[in-house]
Structure 1
Amino acid sequence: MIVSLLAAVAAAFFYGVATVLQALGSRRVGQTEGGGLDPRLLVRVFRQWPFVAGTLLDLAGFAAQLVALAELPVFAVEAAQAANLAVTAVVAVPLLGVVLGRREWGAIVAVCLGLALLGLSAGHEGPAKTGDGFRYALLASVAVIALLGILAARRREPWRSRLLGLTAGFGFGLIALAGRVLTDVAVRDLWKNPATWALALSGAVTMLIYATALQGGAVTAVAAALVVGETVLPAAVGILFLGDHSRSGFAPAAVAGFVLAVVGAMALAKFGEGGDPDPGDREDQGDRGDRGGGQANAAAC
C-alpha cells in the first residue's frame, strides 16, 4: 500500500513537470491553422525538445500510475493526479514567468491535505474483474473522446482551450480505467484484450487534443479543466463498475479528500487566466500585466 501511495505521488510530480514542458513545446510551433484538430501538430511538437522531454516524463508518470492502480482505487489515484496541477503551478513560476499569491499557495495546501486524507482512507484493491462488454465500452469511448475533441477545437477562446483540456482529461481518465482493468492480464494476452487497444488509441487521441489545448489559453487553466475530466467521471466508473471502495469507516474522509484535492486544483486555475488579483493578493502578486508578459516571453523562446 505504501509503495502504491508513493507511486501515485510520483506520477503527479512527473505529470506536473511534463505539463509545463509540453506547454513550452506546443507554443513554439504556433497556433493550429483553421482552429481544428490537426494530426500534423504532433509531428511539429515532437520536433521541440521540451515537448519530447515532457512526453518522456508522461511515460514515467504513467508507469508509476499503473503501479498505484494495482492496489489503489481509481478515485484515489486520479485525485492524486490533481496534485500535478500544484506541481505545474510551482514549476511555472521560473519557466512561464507566473506569480503565486496567498490564494494559490492556499490551494496547493488544500490539494496536499486532500491527498493526505485520500491516502488514509483508500482501501486495498485487487485486480478489477470485468466482462468483455466493459472492455469494449472502453474501446468505443475513444471515438466519443475524439468527437468531443473535434467539436471543442472549433470553439473560440477562452472556451476552446478549456474544453479541449476537459476532453483531454476524459482521455487520461480512460487511460487510467484501461490500466486498472489490465493490471491482472498476462503480457502474452495483452494484444487481444480490447482494453489494451483502448489504452493505446486513447493515448494517441488524447495527446493530440492535449497538445492543441496547450497552444492557446493559460497552461494552468487547461490543466485545471483536465483535472476535472480525469478525476470525477473515472472515479464514478471505478466505484460503480470496478468495485472501488474506501477503508471501512473512512468514507467521509475519502469524500473530503477527493473534494479538497479537486477543488484546490480548480482554484489554481485562476492565476493562469490573467485579470486583476484579489486585493489581498496584490502585494504578493504584483502587476498581472507583468506576469502575462513573462508568459508571452517564455512561450516565444
Structure 2
Amino acid sequence: MLLLGLLFALAATGANSGAALLQAMGARRASRPATAVLHPVYLLGLTLDIGGWVLTVLALRFMPIVAVQAIVAAQVVITVVASHWVFDTPLRRLDVAAAAVNVVGLALLVASASTDDSEVVASTAGVVALVIVLVVLGVVGVVVAVRSRRALPMAFLAGLAFGGTAVAVRLVRLDGPFDVVARQVVTDPVVYCLLGYAALGLGFYTVALARGAVGPVVGVLAVTETLAPGLLGLLFLGDGVRPGWIPAFVLGLVLAMGGVVVLARSPAQASLSGDDGVAPPPLKRL
C-alpha cells in the first residue's frame, strides 16, 4: 500500500507544480492582472490544483503523513526547475544542489517509512480535539490578521491549518457501498472539520502572500504543514519508521525540508511571482 500512496503523492506533486506554472502563464497572457483568474490557462491550472489536492487526500490514506507532506512540498523543486525552462527564470547552482538534496531526502523518507495497515478510528475525544483546535486556530488567525501586518505568522498558521486537513483525512472513515460512503461523508463531523481546516488554510495563505514575498511564505508553510501533522501521525495515527531506520528518517526529513526552504527563497520563485520588482520573465518560444 505504501507504493500506491507514493504514486498518488508523486502525482499530486506534479499536478501542483503544473498548476503553478499554468497559473503564471495565464497571468502573463491576460490583458490585465484583474482578468488573469478568468484566463483559460489560469483556470486549467486551478483545475490541476484541485486535482492535486484530491491526489494528496488519496495518498494520505496509504502513506505516513510526514512522508506525503514532504513529497507534496517538493512541488517547489519542480516549479523552480521547470520555470527556468518555461519562463527563463534564474537558476543558481545552489538551486540545482538543493533540488538534488531534496530528492535524496525524499528517497530516505520513503525508504524508512512504515504505516499500520489497520484503519484509524476517531474517538470522541479525538473529534472534540479536532473541533477545538479548528475554532482556536480560526480565532487566533483572525486576531493575527487584524493586528499584525507580518506575513510569516500567517504562513505558519496556514501551515497548521493545512496540516489539520492531513490529520482529518486520516480520521475520515470511508468504507462500504457508495450510498453508505455518501451517508458517512454527510454525517461525519470529521469531514466538516477537514473542510474547515482547508478553508482556513487557504484564507491564511492568501493573506500571507498579500503581505510578504512568496519565497519565505512558501518555506514556512511547507515546513509547518509537514512537521506538525507528521508528528501527530507518528504519535497517534499509526505512522511509524522501519526498525533501525530512525537516523535515515531524520536525515531524510532534514534534507527534504532543507532543500524546499532553499528553493523557496530562490530568485526563480520571486521572478515567477513578480516579487523581485521587475517585469515578469517572458514565456520562452520553443
TM-score band, normalised by shorter chain: 0.7 to 0.9
Aligned ranges for residues 1-301 of structure 1 at < 5 Å?
Answer: 1-19=2-20, 28-29=33-34, 47=38, 52-93=43-84, 98-126=89-117, 127-154=119-146, 155-156=148-149, 159-160=150-151, 162-182=152-172, 184=174, 187=181, 188-272=183-267, 292-295=277-280
**CA 1:102–1:113 in structure 2 vs 1: closer, same or farther (change >3 Å)?**
same
Once the two structures are superposed, what CA deviation does each residue of 1:187-206 show, in whole Å capped at 9, x if it has no partner? 12122222100111222222
Question: Does the CA contact (< 8 Å) of 2:113 and 2:241 recur in 1?
Answer: yes
How many aligned residue pairs are there?
268
Question: Does the CA contact (< 8 Å) of 2:213 and 2:275 recur in 1?
Answer: no
d(CA) in 2 for partners of 1:213, 1:22: 18
Displacement of 1:113 after TM fit?
A: 0.8
d(CA) in 2 for partners of 1:93, 1:125: 40
Question: Does the CA contact (< 8 Å) of 1:177 and 1:234 recur in 2?
Answer: yes
d(CA) in 2 for partners of 1:137, 1:92: 41
Question: Does the CA contact (< 8 Å) of 1:21 and 1:54 recur in 2?
Answer: yes
Q: Which amino acid aligns with 1:123?
A: S
| 1:81 match: secondary structure | helix
Displacement of 1:297 after TM fit?
A: 8.4
d(CA) in 2 for partners of 1:190, 1:251: 36
| 1:123 match: secondary structure | strand
d(CA) in 2 for partners of 1:163, 1:273: 23
| 1:163 match: secondary structure | helix
Once the two structures are superposed, what CA deviation does each residue of 1:173-216 show, in whole Å capped at 9, x if it has no partner? 11111111115455121222221001112222222222333335
Q: What's the TM-score once normalised by structure 2's chain length?
A: 0.80
Q: Identity over aligned residues, as a percent?
A: 32
1:37 matched to which residue of 2? Answer: none
Question: Does the CA contact (< 8 Å) of 1:107 and 1:268 recur in 2?
Answer: yes
Displacement of 1:164 after TM fit?
A: 2.5
d(CA) in 1 for partners of 2:205, 2:224: 12
**CA 1:266–1:232 in structure 2 vs 1: closer, same or farther (change >3 Å)?**
same
d(CA) in 1 for partners of 2:37, 2:125: 36
d(CA) in 1 for partners of 2:281, 2:153: 22
d(CA) in 2 for partners of 1:239, 1:194: 23
| 1:249 match: secondary structure | coil
d(CA) in 2 for partners of 1:290, 1:144: 32
* 5+ residue gaps, structure 1: 30-43, 276-284
d(CA) in 2 for partners of 1:219, 1:96: 17
- RMSD value over aligned CA atoms? 3.2
d(CA) in 2 for partners of 1:22, 1:152: 29
d(CA) in 2 for partners of 1:205, 1:54: 21
Displacement of 1:236 after TM fit?
A: 1.0
Once the two structures are superposed, what CA deviation does each residue of 1:65-104 show, in whole Å capped at 9, x if it has no partner? 2222222111111121221111232244367763120111
Displacement of 1:290 after TM fit?
A: 11
Q: Which amino acid aligns with 2:252?
A: G
Question: Does the CA contact (< 8 Å) of 1:135 and 1:195 recur in 2?
Answer: yes
| 1:150 match: secondary structure | helix
Once the two structures are superposed, what CA deviation does each residue of 1:117-140 show, in whole Å capped at 9, x if it has no partner? 111111133222331221232233
Q: Which amino acid aligns with 2:278?
A: G
Q: Which amino acid aligns with 2:223?
A: V
